[in-house]
Amino acid sequence: MPEGDNVFRTAKRQHAALAGKVLDATDFRVPTLATVDLSGQRLHAVTSYGKHLFHRIGDWNLHSHLRMEGAWVEVWPGERWPRQVYRARVVLRAASVAGVGFDLAEVALMTDAEAAALRDRLGPDLLGEWTDADVELALQRLEAHSDTPIFTAMLDQTVVAGAGNVYANELCFLLGVAPARPAGEVDGRRALDLVHRMLVANRDRDARSTTGDLRRGKRTWVYGRAGQACRRCGTLLQGASLGARAGEERSVTWCPHCQR
């Protein structure tokens, strides 16, 4: 499941492969960009912000969002594409490598002002500079959701950018609170510190772990473990769905003993 750490690593790989190269050809397989040709433009950088990806090409920002199924991959000469050709939404070709975006949920070309406006609508990036000012802004936005379940509030990308379902579940366990506890009853500063530290710990490794154990089946405290024993107390973990509105529910798992 792509979360802020996945997108951070994707940007890092794409930047290493493509930054500084002049594009030989571009292929945008989305209706709104079907006639766009950025061949001959230099790809300057690839960066992430929360779950959003930005390829800086010439004077444009190619914005994309992976959602559940999307992926950007680097394809070198002679390599087979890892997914079917028809699933490609964007192809950026340079002399020695192609960056291919598969199953992208969102694709758009933005000016600098448009890209900045999008970032301004989001909360602070958990894998950005994360300054004291970022923490204070995130706290203000979290306080504005004081009646919202803490699980749901942490998924709101306008509060803080980068945490998804895995981290929201794990955060609630580490805080010792039930996912439905109102955010106003939770120590917001501690919550932000914990989720920030979890993402930073995982940003450079493919095997995401919140327990500190990288072995398969040992990597999470509660996420994906409904019906199994709590790693701390042995109580059977409970599972349900929780969301701010109908149709936006996400899977939650918690320990009824450790998370009061």
- Is residue 2 part of the annotated active site? The answer reads yes
Catalytic annotation, pick one of 12, 21, 31, 51: 51
User: Is residue 51 among the annotated active site residues?
Assistant: yes
Could you tell me the sign of the dihedral formed by the alpha carbons of 191, 47, 17, 106, in that order? positive
Q: What ranges make up the beta strands (E) of 29-94?
A: 43-49, 52-57, 60-65, 71-75, 88-93
Which residues, listed in sequence order, are joined to residue 25 by a DSSP beta bridge? 93
Whether residue 46 contacts residue 15, with contact meaning beta carbons closer than 8 Å, is answered with yes
Among candidate residues 2, 124, 149, 179, the one labeled active-site is 2
Q: Nearest-5° angle of CA 250, CA 255, CA 260?
A: 100
Of 93, 91, 111, 118, the C-alpha closest to 102 is 91
Instruction: Count Cα atoms within 13 angstroms, Cβ side, for 209.
Output: 11
Q: Residue 249 catalytic?
A: no
- Indicate which residues carry an active-site annotation: 2-3, 51
